[in-house]
Amino acid sequence: MKLSPTGGLGAAAPLVFLLLFFYLPLGLVLGEVVRGGGSLILEVLSQPYYQKILRFTLFQAGVSTIFALMLGLPGGYLLGRFRFPGRNVVKSLSTLPFVLPSILVVLGFVLFFGNNGALNRFLAATFRTSEPPLKILYSFKAIILAHGFYNFPIIMRLTSPAWMNLPANQINAARSLGAPPFRLFRTVTLPHLIPALLASASLVFLFCFMSFAIILVLGGGPQFSTLEVEVYRLAKFTLDLPAAAVLGLTGTVITLAFLYLNITLEKRGSALLNRTGAALPLRDLILRERGRKLRPRGVVLGAYLLVTGIILLGPLLAVVINSLQIKTGWGAGPEWSLKWYVQLFQNRSGTPGAAGAPGGPVSLEALKNSLTFALGAVALGVPLGTILALWTHRKEGPSRLRRPVELLFMLPLGVSPVILGLGYLKLLPRLPESFRHGGLLITGAHAVIAYPFVIRSVSASLHRVSPGLRRAAASLGASPGRILFTVDLPLIKAGIFSGAAFVFALSLGEINATILLARSGQTTLPLAIYRLIGAYNFHGACALGTVLLLLCGAAFIIIDKFEEALP
Amino acid sequence: MNRGLIIENLTYQQEDFFLSLSLSLEEGRFGCLIGPSGCGKTTLLHLIGGFLSSTSGTVRLGGKDISFLDPHRRNLGIVFQDYALFPHLSVKENIAYGLKSRRSLSFDKPQIQERVEELLALVKMEGYEDRKTSSLSGGEQQRIALARALAPRPELLLLDEPLSALDGPLRSQLRKEIRRIQEELGITTLYITHDHEEALTLSDRVFLMHRGALIQEGTPEELYQTPRTLFAGEFLGRSNRLSGEVMGMTCESVEIKTSGGTITLRNPGEKDILYNRGDRGVLFFRPEDLQVVRKFREDSGLLRGEIKTVEYYGAQYLAEAAMGEERVLVSVPLGESLRKGEEVSLALLPHRGCWFTGRD
């Protein structure tokens, strides 16, 4: 294939953007470490405190992943092997963790599982105890539970295609050769599932390793600090940038290793799915047999659906309900009211908000900022991701350069937002005066963090555009430009829309990089919610959280509509 | 001067695959490019279409050198194996795609509408304008793909195994349609296939490819009856080979000794083949080149064999006769009745059979 002018140009513009907004800041962090030399690295990494943090970061990510696997694997099996009413809803909901802002998870967790939360009140009323039966907030348990509850749908979603595409012929062959069920599972089913299983586990590990808001709030203090949170503390409060850089790079090396593992495993998994031929058909999930006897498997899986549904949606529901209720007095029941919303968006003059809480115009400003950053991130990230997806898919350019360049495009997936924020902080004083406005950097950071999701969704829809269609268009006299606009773009429209919704939702919920970069007047919805939680103004946080939830919910619905449907 | 397709010393190399050939197809003719899979048929189509760049050589169409033109500047109509209909466009929009792409055509809206209707009539799909292509059957998609390729009046129509995804009766029906349309329009057409029946029934000229080279071209009859190599002969239909030795020759016949007896090859086709006494080689002939001779005669020019199997093919029987270690297929008309184990004499019809000495 010849190198077309669009191919060359197409790769150049994104490369320049990535150089400025990703590689330059990352390089500055790296430069800081290199300047300090081996002695700096040794000095930081030999401190028992930092060693403890590194160990704890790995440990909590590992335990969280195992917990998420325990919760998510039955779901993958259920979704991949059975037909049942509401299957499509469950399938859609499994995308939720990708778009749900972590600050909402935190808020919902506190309201639902907290000492005075919905679950405890329910249990206390049922078992008539005066003490809250579950005390899990602000502890190691809270971190693990929140990570597990937040991430298990990812395991569910990524393993279900492997279950769905179990090779019917191989299984029938093994059966006809006399393999008993366990041997069948061990020799055919399990080898088929393992790549998807490990790929999903490595992704969840990556997410838990880079987790920020959950650790910051639910960890409840320095004894449960991770690399991410520590880098944030060092950069924002201690102002020890060299130490932050060393810790940040250490984390980056680890996350990149897991990213590499994930990409490799995912490739192997999808290669396996393409090779297997006819898939085993889905079965109906039957609760009762005709003789009205309960089927144990049906009952267990049904109960699983109920419990995980409550775990996933209960906290979000608690946020919405709390935002609409006021307590009228001790002992009296709650009343429905829009008071919190009114207070949030009302002019501050007249009603002084609760201690330190951003009342009035600050909330309005946060909403405005969040929308501005999100739309800016969409405007930057969607063309970026789309061009890169097209470039990778068409395999344009000299083949020797292609793989390294592709790698350069994917690298941002494995670098945590906090490290990126740290790099931007170092970039800031070097920028000309007119560029120092933090808004541009926040928008850029959001675009860099989210564009790999555009590549993902656009690539998925590009797989349906066979190269034959482009050849057909060319043979009918269409120039490369006309082919792009009349063949490629119409066919990948769905992928672009769902990618845009991803960028929008991720930017709205982003807190890790924003918290480092935002100056006064640049508060976003998650930051405002974080501060309201810090001020124990939970009702206000819930009202703002509900606004954020509605916005992300809209994005979620768009994604669900356009997402490449699982067969 | 030939205003059709002329390919001169075209070469293309990729890894261990090497293509090198010259070929010419006169204007208005129907040519079939046939060969086993992996012989380079599709590569050649991509070279003509401009999707691949050749290493050297030229492709000429209508007297112009198009070797260095981008695909969209070559005036070709291509029907792809999987049809490659645009899934997001209606039938009408698919057919109109080429009309809107070529600026030189400058069709306005009513003209496009008119041309689309013309083509739908040509492929007998009137009234399908607004259908989605995904709602069409395989045969219907095939017709629309053909209409789309023909709409901008290309100078050359290329068809890449267009019927391979369809089954039996539909295949032969569409085969006839394609030929009818080609004759109606008089368009130069190159049809790519691996099916010898398609090549023989459809074309004015057959081009046989093997391992990236053109090994024989000619009319279907020439290729079927006087293949220049064993490979060509065996690729184009059922055939037999019997190893033998030249016993003697006159100016119009050759005597060859085989395991089934000594046989006389009269008027051996190729004049330039030299026969030497004692030459070893292979006698090649088709099942229908043999005739069962009922009355057994101890006569030269007849093969003797024992019938091993008889298969019924509806219009004929196909019997297998053993001659020593070798087996020979004989086509037997329905009236004859042969039994397993029967000893028969077989005569080679005049002017049939070829002698190959070299290895392929």
Higher local confidence (pLDDT), B187 or A1? B187
Q: How confident is the model at residue A519 (pLDDT cuts 50, 70, 90)?
A: confident
By the 8 A CB rule, do A259 and A206 touch?
Answer: yes
Asked if B84 and A468 come within 8 Å (Cβ–Cβ), the reply is yes
Q: Tell me the C-alpha distance between A555 and A377, whole Å.
A: 14
pLDDT of residue B300: 61
Per-residue pLDDT tens digits for A165-175: 888 888 888 88
Cα dist from B144 to A170, A313, A383, B25, B115, whole Å: 39, 50, 34, 26, 13
The two three-digit tokens of residue A324, written as one number:
């609409």
Q: How confident is the model at residue B183 (pLDDT cuts 50, 70, 90)?
A: very high
| DSSP annotation of B190 | E
Q: Tell me the C-alpha distance between A539 and A532, whole Å.
A: 9
* CATH T-level topology, domain A47-323: MetI-like fold (1.10.3720)
**Mean pLDDT score, A427-432:** 82
Asked if A469 and B98 come within 8 Å (Cβ–Cβ), the reply is no
Mean model confidence pLDDT for chain B: 88
Bridge partner residues of B193 (DSSP): B34
By the 8 A CB rule, do B123 and B139 touch?
Answer: no
pLDDT over 70 at A565, yes or no: no
Which of the listed ranges A233-242, A379-388, A408-417 does the model predict with the highest average pLDDT? A379-388
Per-residue pLDDT tens digits for A367-409: 999 999 999 999 999 999 998 888 887 765 566 676 677 777 8
pLDDT of residue B48: 94
Q: What is the per-residue DSSP string for A44-72?
A: HHTSHHHHHHHHHHHHHHHHHHHHHHHHH
Q: Tell me the C-alpha distance between B111 and B96, whole Å.
A: 10
Instruction: Name the CA dihedral angle for B320, B323, B325, B330, rounded to a multiple of 10 degrees.
Output: -20
Which residues of chain B have a CB within 8 Å of the CB of A490?
Answer: 88
Which residues of chain A have a CB within 8 Å of the CB of B88?
Answer: 490-491
**Phi, psi of A361, deg, nearest 5:** -60, -25
Per-residue pLDDT tens digits for A520-548: 778 899 999 998 888 888 888 898 999 99
pLDDT of residue A357: 46
pLDDT of residue B192: 95
Asked if A475 and B72 come within 8 Å (Cβ–Cβ), the reply is yes
pLDDT of residue A350: 38
Asked if A474 and B82 come within 8 Å (Cβ–Cβ), the reply is no
Helix (H), strand (E) counts: chain A: 26, 4
Distance from CA of A545 to the nearest CA of B (A): 40
pLDDT of residue A276: 62
**Mean pLDDT score, A454-461:** 87
Q: Tell me the C-alpha distance between A486 and A215, whole Å.
A: 48
Per-residue pLDDT tens digits for B189-247: 999 999 898 999 999 999 999 999 999 999 999 999 888 888 999 999 999 999 988 88
Q: What is the per-residue DSSP string for B73-141?
A: GS-EEEE-TT----TTSBHHHHHHHHHHH-TTT---HHHHHHHHHHHHHHTT-TT-TT-BGGGS-HHHH
Mean model confidence pLDDT for chain A: 83
Q: Token match 């490019």: residue?
A: B33
Q: What is the per-residue DSSP string for B239-261?
A: -EEEEEEEEEE-SSEEEEEETTE
Domain assignments of chain A as residue spans, ordered by start: 1-45+339-567, 47-323
Which residues of chain B have a CB within 8 Å of the CB of A483?
Answer: 72
**Mean pLDDT score, A109-131:** 81
Per-residue pLDDT tens digits for A47-70: 999 999 999 999 999 999 999 999
Q: Which of B47, B67, B88 to mutate to test the interface with A (most CBs of A within 10 A)?
A: B88
pLDDT of residue B296: 62
Per-residue pLDDT tens digits for B97-151: 999 888 777 788 899 999 999 999 999 999 999 999 888 998 999 999 999 999 9
Looking only at the bridges linking them, the beta strands covering B253-258 and B261-266 are antiparallel
By the 8 A CB rule, do A119 and A134 touch?
Answer: yes
pLDDT of residue A2: 41
Q: How confident is the model at residue A361 (pLDDT cuts 50, 70, 90)?
A: low
Per-residue pLDDT tens digits for A189-215: 888 899 889 989 999 999 999 999 999
pLDDT over 60 at B269, yes or no: no
By the 8 A CB rule, do A554 and A504 touch?
Answer: no
Higher local confidence (pLDDT), B65 or A349? B65
pLDDT of residue A399: 66
**Mean pLDDT score, A117-139:** 78
Higher local confidence (pLDDT), A119 or B32? B32
Distance from CA of A394 to the nearest CA of B (A): 13
By the 8 A CB rule, do A393 and A2 touch?
Answer: no
Q: How confident is the model at residue B169 (pLDDT cuts 50, 70, 90)?
A: confident
Q: In this complex, which of A469, A475, A491 lies closest to B71 when CB atoms are compared?
A: A475
ipTM confidence score = 0.79
Q: How confident is the model at residue A355 (pLDDT cuts 50, 70, 90)?
A: very low
pLDDT of residue A354: 42
Q: Tell me the C-alpha distance between A231 and A208, whole Å.
A: 16
The Cβ-side half-sphere exposure at A148, using a 13 Å CA radius, reads: 20
**Crossing angle, helix A538-562 and helix A361-394, to 10 degrees?**
30
Say if A1-45+339-567 and A47-323 have the same CATH topology: yes
**Thinking of the domain A1-45+339-567, which architecture would CATH place it in?**
Orthogonal Bundle (1.10)
pLDDT of residue B25: 94
